[in-house]
């Protein structure tokens, strides 16, 4: 059910928030044993909130699931890590959670993810495997894999995820749902456990484009608790949703359609672009010349910021503390060695290296310069076009285990999503078809639409036209 139809049923009294939650819990019990999207949920406290839900509010009485790196008062927040899995409870609500509550929603369910959001498969979760509802042998994508899989599996009506380099859009694409990464600063990051602070952004994963608009409406806006939150008015995202694409200029970057794209992905994305043309959009060939440097740039900047952000996990204040240390340094070392998984350690080591004296200019400083070039590519493009169309990922969902011990293969799968984070621009992934026949299973393919800073209303409008 879309959020609109749930709201309809709640407002007309056809169902109640309590019945809705109890039914949802039943579906989770029946289905999530196979999918593994949920790390935990607290039905009792959600039912208490349901009893007093205000149905006059835009998301009144509707349960919304949360990636397990978003703090909800009194709940676990594991970040998919052993470090926080045993004895951490959030002491406060993230701003997005406060805003969801203010819109009447009930935060319900903690969704699996790659550890500290590092990954594109959810296979880096230290806690459990999440499977793609379209084929249990495949990954759901990541890092917000639990959020995407639950929406696709109909064990959540909608979810929040976080996107540092594609972690909302790519799992949405792999699971056949809608995923929106807002402009950097559009949504407060306060209460999101930081991975790479200059790239992180929270956004919705939903069944429909309208649902994404409804959730963005609730969570967007200024927040004095996040110094990077934008103090810009929040438009009415639903008002322009159905205005169509007639007369719009949509750019197709040649760098996003080169070698290595799965034929099923290419076919569906190109067919959708043709559909948008037939609806009156003008399709324009463009170039984003620094695209090929995005992966290298991101995988210097993101680990550098992560190595700094994750230094707070030392066994003193948060989560796991190693037993029997010989001294305080030993306590730090043992706690970090035992608490972090291999991908997180790899990022910390890489990030510390690129920030170290003697290497800072060669790696981190240079990556920041290339980041500026990537941002300028978009600025130039948006002088010419309203939005940019591309695939979300070069392939549909890979088989579980297929990245093996080769992290570079997993990094390369982010090629089409990283640039939006480096440039700070918004992007949306919407289902645009399925691959023809892959071992008898049709796998979802996503279309990515990128827009200029604060261009969410237009993105949603284009996405809605494509969806229709
Ligand atoms: N896959 C990218 C990474 O591993 C992006 C992750 C994300 O957006 N959180 O860093």
User: Mutation test of ligand 1: which of 114, 141, 412, 420 has the most ligand atoms closer than 8 Å to its C-beta?
Assistant: 114
- Which of 164, 174, 296, 413 to mutate for ligand 1's pocket (most ligand atoms within 8 Å of CB)? 164
Within 6 A (CB) of ligand 1 lie 117-120, 143, 163-167, 195, 302, 414
d(CA 325, ligand 1 centre) in Å: 33
* Torsional sign, CA 187, 457, 210, 112: negative
pLDDT at res. 284: 98
What pLDDT score was predicted for residue 260?
87
Distances (CA, A) of 272 to 70, 256, 283: 34, 15, 12
**pLDDT given for residue 437 in this prediction:** 65
Residue 167 bears catalytic tag: yes
The answer to whether residue 278 is catalytic is no
For residue 168, the ligand 1 atom closest to its alpha carbon is: 8
Q: Which two tokens stand for residue 157?
A: 């009506």
- Tell me, yes or no, if 67 is annotated catalytic: yes
- Separation of CA 59 and ligand 1 centre (Å): 29
What pLDDT is stored for residue 439 in this prediction? 66
Query: For residue 440, what pLDDT is reported?
Result: 72
Q: What's the confidence (pLDDT) of residue 253?
A: 98
From the candidates 121, 143, 188, 429, give the one annotated as an active-site residue: 143
Cβ neighbors of 210 (< 8 A, separation 6 or more) are 2, 3, 4, 238, 241, 464
pLDDT confidence of residue 342: 97
Nearest ligand 1 atom to alpha carbon 162: 9
Q: How does pLDDT run along the chain (468 residues), one tens digit per residue?
A: 899 999 999 999 999 999 999 999 999 999 999 999 999 999 999 999 999 999 999 999 999 999 999 999 999 999 999 999 998 999 999 999 999 999 999 999 999 999 999 999 999 999 999 999 999 999 999 999 999 999 999 999 999 999 999 999 999 999 999 999 999 999 999 999 999 999 999 999 999 999 999 999 999 999 999 999 999 999 999 999 999 999 999 999 999 998 889 999 999 999 999 999 999 999 999 999 999 999 999 999 999 999 999 999 999 998 999 999 999 999 999 999 999 999 999 999 999 999 999 999 999 999 999 999 999 999 999 999 999 999 999 999 999 998 877 888 899 999 999 999 999 999 999 999 999 765 677 999 999 999 999 999 999 999 999 999
With a CB cutoff of 8 Å and minimum separation 6, the contacts of 409 are 403
Q: Whose CA is nearest to atom 4 of ligand 1?
A: 119
**Residue 302 Cα: closest atom of ligand 1:** 10
d(CA 401, CA 409): 12
Atom of ligand 1 nearest to the CA of 120: 1
């Amino acid at each position: 059910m879309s959020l609109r139809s749930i709201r309809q049923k709640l407002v007309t009294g056809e169902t109640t928030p309590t019945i809705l939650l109890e039914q949802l819990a039943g579906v989770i019990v029946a289905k999530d044993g196979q999918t593994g999207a949920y790390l935990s949920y607290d039905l009792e406290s959600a039912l208490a909130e349901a009893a007093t839900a205000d149905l006059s509010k835009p998301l009144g009485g509707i349960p919304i699931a949360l990636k397990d790196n978003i703090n909800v008062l009194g709940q676990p927040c594991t970040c998919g890590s052993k470090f926080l899995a045993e004895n951490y409870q959030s002491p406060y609500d993230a701003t997005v959670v406060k805003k969801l509550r203010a819109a009447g929603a009930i935060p319900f369910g903690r969704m699996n993810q790659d550890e500290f959001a590092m990954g594109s498969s959810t296979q880096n979760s230290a806690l459990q495997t999440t499977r793609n509802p379209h084929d249990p042998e495949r990954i759901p994508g990541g890092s917000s894999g639990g959020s995407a899989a639950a929406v696709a599996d109909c064990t959540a009506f909608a979810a929040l995820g976080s996107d540092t380099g594609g972690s909302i859009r790519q799992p949405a694409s792999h699971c056949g749902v809608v995923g929106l990464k807002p402009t950097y600063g559009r949504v407060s990051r306060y209460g999101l456990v930081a991975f790479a602070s200059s790239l992180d952004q929270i956004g919705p994963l939903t069944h429909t484009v309208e649902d994404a608009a409804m959730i963005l409406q609730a969570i967007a806006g200024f927040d004095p608790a996040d110094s990077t939150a934008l103090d810009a008015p929040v438009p009415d995202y639903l008002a322009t949703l159905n205005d169509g694409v007639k007369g719009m200029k949509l750019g197709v970057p040649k760098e996003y359609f080169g070698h290595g794209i799965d034929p099923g992905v290419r076919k569906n994305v190109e067919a959708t672009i043709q559909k948008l043309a037939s609806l009156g959009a003008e399709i324009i060939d463009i170039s984003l010349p620094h695209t090929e440097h995005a992966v290298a740039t991101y995988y210097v900047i993101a680990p550098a910021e992560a190595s700094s952000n994750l230094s707070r996990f030392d066994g003193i204040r948060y989560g796991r503390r190693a037993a029997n240390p010989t001294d305080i340094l030993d306590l730090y070392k043992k706690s970090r060695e035992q608490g972090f998984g291999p991908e997180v350690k790899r990022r910390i080591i890489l990030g510390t290296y690129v920030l170290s004296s003697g290497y800072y200019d060669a790696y981190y400083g240079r990556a920041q310069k290339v980041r500026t070039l990537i941002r300028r590519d978009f600025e130039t493009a948006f002088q010419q076009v309203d939005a940019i169309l591309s695939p979300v990922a070069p392939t549909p969902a890979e088989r579980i285990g297929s990245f093996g011990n080769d992290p570079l293969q997993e990094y390369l799968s982010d090629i089409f999503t990283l640039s939006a984070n480096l440039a700070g621009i918004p992007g949306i992934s919407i289902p645009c078809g399925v691959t023809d026949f892959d071992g008898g299973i049709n796998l979802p393919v996503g279309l990515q639409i990128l827009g200029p800073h604060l261009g969410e209303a237009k993105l949603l409008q284009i996405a809605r036209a494509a969806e229709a």
